[in-house]
Amino acid sequence: MNGYPVEIDLRDRLVVVVGGGAVALRRARALVESGARVLVVAQELLGEFAELPVTVCRRRYRAGDLTGAWLAHAATDDPAVNATVAADAERARIWCVRADDGRASAARMPAVTRHGDVTVAVTAGGDPRRSQQLRSAIGLALADGSLPVRPQRRTGDQAGPGSQAGPGGQAGPGSQAGSVALVGGGPGDPGLITVHGRRLLAEADVVVADRLGPSGLLGELDPGVEVILAGKAPGAHTMTQDQINALIVDRARAGHRVVRLKGGDTFVFGRGGEEALACVRAGVPFQVVPGVTSAVAVPAYAGIPVTHRGITQDFAVVSAHLDPSQPGATLDWEALAHGPGTLVLLMAVAHLEAISTELIKRGRDRATPVAVIKDGTMPTQQVLTSTLEHVAADAARQRIRPPAVVVIGDVVGLHAQLAQPRPGCS
């Protein structure tokens, strides 16, 4: 089955479909979408044909029905009729597709998937089932961005970061307006980014990435994509927040598609709101793509549900990057000590001892189970379980460093039962 693949322009050209069933209906719909003039010949037709702008002859196929046609589809449930249509088409030098027997056709239908302005047609040695399986896999990869296809720019649009409109410049005449997508990348495992987020990443001209999040996806980007690392580590910021805001605005104003790739969720302790406001003030179009927050996903991967019937019905997520005794630490530790059944602390490792002391002082039971989860969702994930009284010393002994998520509450007791072994995890 060594065919010669070609795309045919059927706009305002006659195509004859013989048959009135489900296959004929699918073929007729696709032909109408391609702009063809469609004649349907069948004694009986599905009611959906009435919704299509096609000409219908309600009778059996007969010689002469293919006159003036560029293409024919034999799609009845009668092999003899299909063979007759194919033979008539062959004599008239009209390409014909037989729905019942692709190997007997002069032309064959590929399995087709479309993504924006990209059309992929798949053939697999005349095996339609295999073609459809491959088509589905390619369609999914195009949709989720794992098979990246950057949208074609119109003539005169800026091609990317190397174009004449440099950083901070305005897009030239006829250029496509730039935009910003604030994408939550999830807690680290590349598989946890959303489908929409991954697709936007594949279409980006510029990616401004955090230190946390699915950094492994950056290696899959097109070589022409500008990647800017704007990571923030405790006590060491590559870029200030104001610099990041200015950067994404300037790149968008230069006509680029900018993805701000953030760890976790866009608006959970990630300053995504500040970046969105910067776009609003600059008049730059933007969209927010939520992400899987590490506050829930990391405990889940460690076998710790943040709520569980019979244990707790509420939880609180807290940014604990400040020592509770420091000026500017505004958390209500009294309420946290007596309130939610589960506390999830982000950015808390550096102050574990002060936090534990504060909670115990304000009434939290010193025997409360605690888990510290390092590198959550990643192959290097490490889970330490302890108690509120001893967790700081235990974490120091095991040299646990950020990034880590701390979970305080009785749900930690479920870890031993629910934790699933993962390669590289302990």
Active site residues: 210, 232
Residue from 319, 331, 321 nearest 293 by CA = 319
Spatial neighbors of 82 by CB under 8 A, at least 6 apart, are 18, 74, 75, 76, 98, 99, 100, 101
Residue from 399, 389, 388 nearest 345 by CA = 388
Tell me how far apart the terminal alpha carbons of the chain are, to the nearest angstrom.
52
The continuous run of DSSP H or E covering 371 comes out as strand 369-374
Burial 118-150 (b: 16+ CB within 10 A, else e): eebebbbeeebeebbebbeebbebbebbbbbbb
CA 408 – CA 143 distance, rounded (Å): 39
Structure tokens at 234: 């405790």
What is the side-by-side strand order in the sheet with 404-408? Answer: 315-319, 342-346, 404-408, 369-374, 382-387
Tokens 């040299």 locate to: 399
DSSP string, 56-123: EE-S---TTTTTT-SEEEE--S-HHHHHHHHHHHHHTT-EEEESS-GGG-SB-PPEEEEETTEEEEE-
Output the CA angle 149-154-157, nearest 5 degrees.
100
Helices first, then strands: H and E counts in the chain: 11, 19
